[in-house]
């Protein structure tokens, strides 16, 4: 288990579609442990493997910091079975330090994924839990939360995006 650096906007790995993994592979368990360690250190609620430089279809979610008893899970090889009506809500992203945006995303979703023991699970989620799962799912497909911004809104955050990209080009991580 190790804490890793979180890749910043501008790093090509964030735009790379991740590949499926074998849940039984010891490397998968080690990556999940690293993701949880990194997420905990960053005080986040979700983290995808490509955010730490691994193009594997894995992400972790830990809502227990925000909601006592909230879910904490590793999601392997996920697929969205169904997504509900889109609504606007505020999101941040560990690859975009300090940048919070209103993002349109489904309020409800059904997600199917594998667990570390290889079993398949299907969850129906709503609210913050749905938003986090869908945000991290997008990461696995190389899609970032800034991608859906209108041209006007993107211009409003352009200076901040350039600043983050400059940090990334210097080799910094979050």
Query: Is residue 62 classed exposed, middle or buried when 0-12, 13-18 and 19+ CB atoms within 10 A define those classes?
Result: buried
Q: Which of 54, 91, 107, 136 is catalytic?
A: 136
For this structure, is 85 an active site residue? Answer: no
Q: Please give the Cα distance from 45 to 63 (Å, whole number).
A: 6
Q: Among 157, 132, 139, 44, which Cα is nearest to 94's?
A: 44
Angle among Cα 36, 41, 42 to the nearest 5 degrees reads 100
The catalytic residues are 136
């Amino acid at each position: 288990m190790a804490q890793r650096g979180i890749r910043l906007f501008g790093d090509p790995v964030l735009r790379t579609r991740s590949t499926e993994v074998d849940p039984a592979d010891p490397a998968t368990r080690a990556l999940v442990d690293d993701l949880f360690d990194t997420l905990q250190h960053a005080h986040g609620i979700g983290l995808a493997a490509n955010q730490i430089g691994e193009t594997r279809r894995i992400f972790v979610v830990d809502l227990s910091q925000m909601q006592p008893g909230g879910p904490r899970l590793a999601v392997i090889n996920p697929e969205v079975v169904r997504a509900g009506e889109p609504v606007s809500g505020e999101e941040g992203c560990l690859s975009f330090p300090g940048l919070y945006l209103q993002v349109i995303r489904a309020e409800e979703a059904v997600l199917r994924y594998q667990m570390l023991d290889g079993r398949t699970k299907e969850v129906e989620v709503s609210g913050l839990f749905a938003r986090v799962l869908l945000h991290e799912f997008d990461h696995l497909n190389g899609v970032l939360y800034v991608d859906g911004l209108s041209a006007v809104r993107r211009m409003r955050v352009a200076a901040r995006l350039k600043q983050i990209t400059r940090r990334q080009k210097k080799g910094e991580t979050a």
